């Protein structure tokens, strides 16, 4: 069963004979649409639901986290695109099908808000559930396939750079779109929000189409390759990967760090509204503050330390986590003490630490992914990040409701405690990271 798959992989690698910056940048423009879609759902819709309509953050967070809990779809679609072409193409057809589902979900987003405003709660939640099922399935169905397309667009020694450029564009456009949408709708207005949804659908569809059209090489796929591989083979590979204790420890580190870092995602904008009474336009920019700091430090780190071996960067990840702890504690102080003047500084400190942690963490992920089984290891780290991010997002909303609605604590105390808990989680993650184990793993898998 392995030989046909190897034939297909060889055919793919042979097509990527040179690195073309224009091709890579065009493929990376795909992430403009991805960032825009995430800001509309996780930032704008999330804020409107919790702060404007007074919906429980627990249920809103659960819907936002649903996409990450559908992670098996990513494995299935990625494996299927490796072995079974769709409509005569290996990658593009899967990407367009998945992103088509995402575009179809946008009108349902607006419909759910209209139903909630009309008092039709049951129907509203049902429509929102269908919306996020479509959104999550489409995103996961196409996400891993898109990364495979980016990887195949460059020769082996440049594939990491190609993926890195694509991820940098994604990070860069989070704050850009957050600020743009914040200025577009300073205060919630149903008609403005409806216009925003229509624009997002067209805007995202354009970038997803433009980035991928004619970007895939025509391949002659052996007939036997279309029947090669399966869930049994995939499960067996992951059992082999998981057997190494160093892999399990790194997985736990990555899980805890991501979980703690994203506990703020579902509650950050409602925090600004509930504690300080800030309008939608200002809270939407919160992502721009910490995301902009993340991008700046991330790019600076790549420029300064790009020549260092990735397995030696554990200390960078730990220092980044330490700075993130400081940012979370500052946010906790900002909330409990209702110190409005500390808000932006807290977000910038957190974002700066996140940038340094991302630089170290991504490098460690690359080091913990041996060349001969890079797909399996990167798949494991992807699952870890997405699932822990989803659970962290959900937990932040759950704790907000538990503390404020369940225990009847003030908003200031409730949000402050959540930020403090996130800081403790980041400390635990730093303690779990063992640099020597990463180095030994790399040495054993050369």
pLDDT higher than 80, residue 412: yes
Angstrom distance (rounded) from CA 443 to CA 351: 33
Angstrom distance (rounded) from CA 254 to CA 60: 25
Angstrom distance (rounded) from CA 110 to CA 355: 33
pTM: 0.73
Domain locations along the chain: 1-229, 231-446
**Structure tokens given for 402:** 């538990």
- Shortest CA distance to 186 belongs to which of 38, 57, 44? 44
pLDDT higher than 90, residue 428: yes
pLDDT at 83: 67
Angstrom distance (rounded) from CA 284 to CA 270: 10
pLDDT one-digit tens code per residue, 248-263: 999 999 999 999 999 9
3-state secondary structure of 219: coil
pLDDT one-digit tens code per residue, 46-63: 888 887 888 887 788 788
Instruction: Kindly tell me the burial class for residue 82, based on how many C-beta atoms sit within 10 Å of its own C-beta (0-12, 13-18, 19 or more).
Output: buried
pLDDT one-digit tens code per residue, 199-247: 999 999 999 999 988 877 654 444 334 444 455 555 666 677 788 899 9
CATH match of 1-229 with 1.20.1250.20? yes
Bridge partners for 89 per DSSP: 86
Phi-psi region of 61 (alpha: psi -120 to 50; beta: other; left: phi over 0): alpha
Alpha helices of 218-342 — where are they, by DSSP H? 231-242, 245-261, 268-276, 280-284, 286-305, 314-336
- 416-445 burial string, b = 16+ CB within 10 Å, else e? bbbbbbbbebbbbbbebbebebbeebbeeb
CATH match of 231-446 with 1.20.1250.20? yes
Query: What one-character-per-residue DSSP string does 329-392 give?
Result: HHHHHHHHTT-GGGHHHHHHHHHHHHHHHHHHHHHHHHHTS-GGGHHHHHHHHHHHHHHHHHHH
Are the folds of 1-229 and 231-446 the same?
yes
pLDDT one-digit tens code per residue, 137-163: 898 888 777 877 877 777 755 655 666
């Amino acid at each position: 069963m392995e030989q046909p798959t190897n034939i297909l992989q060889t055919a793919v690698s042979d097509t990527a004979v040179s690195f073309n910056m224009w091709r890579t940048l065009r493929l990376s423009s795909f992430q403009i649409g991805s960032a825009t879609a995430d800001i509309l759902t996780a930032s704008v819709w999330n804020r409107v639901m919790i702060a404007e309509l007074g919906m429980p953050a627990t249920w809103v967070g659960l819907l936002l986290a649903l996409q990450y809990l559908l992670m098996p779809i990513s494995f299935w679609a990625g494996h299927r695109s490796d072995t079974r072409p769709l409509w005569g193409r290996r990658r593009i057809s899967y990407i367009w099908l998945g992103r088509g589902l995402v575009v179809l979900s946008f009108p349902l987003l607006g419909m759910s808000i209209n139903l909630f405003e009309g008092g039709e709660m049951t129907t509203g939640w049902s429509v929102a559930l269908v919306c996020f099922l479509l959104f999550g399935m489409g995103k996961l169905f196409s996400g891993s396939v898109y990364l495979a397309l980016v990887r195949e667009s460059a020769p082996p020694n440049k594939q990491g750079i190609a993926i890195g450029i694509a991820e940098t564009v994604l990070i860069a456009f989070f704050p850009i779109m957050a600020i743009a949408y914040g200025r577009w709708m300073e205060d919630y207005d149903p008609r403005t929000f409806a216009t925003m949804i229509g624009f997002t659908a067209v805007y995202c569809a354009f970038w997803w189409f433009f980035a991928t059209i004619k970007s895939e090489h025509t391949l002659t796929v052996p007939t036997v390759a279309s029947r090669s591989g399966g869930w049994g083979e995939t499960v067996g590979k992951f059992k082999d990967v998981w057997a190494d204790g160093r892999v399990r420890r790194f997985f736990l580190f990555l899980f805890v760090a991501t979980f703690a870092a994203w506990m703020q995602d579902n509650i950050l904008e409602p925090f600004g509204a509930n504690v300080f009474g800030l309008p939608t336009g200002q809270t939407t920019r919160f992502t721009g503050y910490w995301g902009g700091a993340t991008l700046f430090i991330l790019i600076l780190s790549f420029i300064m330390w790009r020549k260092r071996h990735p397995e030696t960067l554990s200390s960078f990840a730990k220092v980044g986590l330490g700075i993130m702890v400081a940012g979370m504690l500052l946010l906790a102080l900002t909330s409990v003490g209702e110190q409005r003047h500390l808000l932006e500084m807290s977000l910038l400190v957190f974002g700066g630490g996140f940038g340094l942690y991302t630089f170290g963490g991504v490098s460690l992920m690359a080091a913990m992914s041996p060349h001969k089984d890079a797909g399996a290891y990167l798949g494991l780290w992807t699952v870890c990040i997405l699932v822990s991010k989803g659970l962290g997002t959900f937990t932040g909303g759950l704790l907000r409701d538990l503390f404020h609605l369940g225990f009847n604590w003030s908003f200031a105390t409730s949000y402050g405690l959540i930020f403090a808990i996130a800081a403790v989680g980041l400390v635990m993650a730093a303690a779990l990271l063992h640099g020597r184990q990463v180095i030994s793993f790399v040495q054993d898998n050369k």
